[in-house]
Amino acid sequence: MEIKKVNLAEKLSLIDEHWSPKIVGALNGQFVKIVKFKGEFIMHRHEQEDELFYVIDGILFIELKDKVLELKTGEFVIIPKGVAHKPYAHEEVSVMLFEPASTLNTGDIENERTVSDLDRI
C-alpha cells in the first residue's frame, strides 16, 4: 500500500454536487469523507454509529431535538449514535466526516438523498 498525503482543497475542487459524500481515506473500519452542504438535509439518526462533523470552510448548522448547533471553520462536533439530527447550511460549507464504513448518509431513512455506493476521490 502506498502512503501518500491528501490535499483537502484539491479534493474539494473535484466535488460539484451537494450532499454527496466522497471517501478520501480509511482507517480502522472508519471512512474519512468530505462533502459540500448547501440547503437543508433531513432529520435522521444513526442507530449504531457515532458521527463526527468537522467544518473545513463555512458555517454548518445541525438541528437537534432541543437546540441548533452552529459550527464555524475549524470546529467539529460528534453526534452520538441514536441522536436525531438535521444538518443544513445557508451558504455552501465544506465538511469532513469521520464515521464507520457502514454508515449511510441518511441513517435510518432511505430516500432520493441516500448515497449507498460512495465514490473515492
**DSSP-assigned letters across all residues of 28-56:** TTEEEEEEEEEEE---B--SS--EEEEEE
**Would you tell me which CATH number, out of the four given (2.60.120.10, 3.30.1490.100, 3.40.190.150, 3.90.550.10), belongs to the domain 8-120?**
2.60.120.10
C-alpha cell at 113: 438523498
- Above 70 in pLDDT, residue 60? yes
Model confidence, pTM:
0.89
Q: Which helix or strand (DSSP H or E) is residue 11 part of? A: helix 8-12
The rounded distance, in Å, linking the Cα atoms of 68 and 26 is 30
pLDDT in tens, 85-108: 999 999 999 999 999 888 767 667
Residue 51 has pLDDT above 90, yes or no: yes
Cell, residue 74: 475549524
pLDDT higher than 90, residue 80: yes
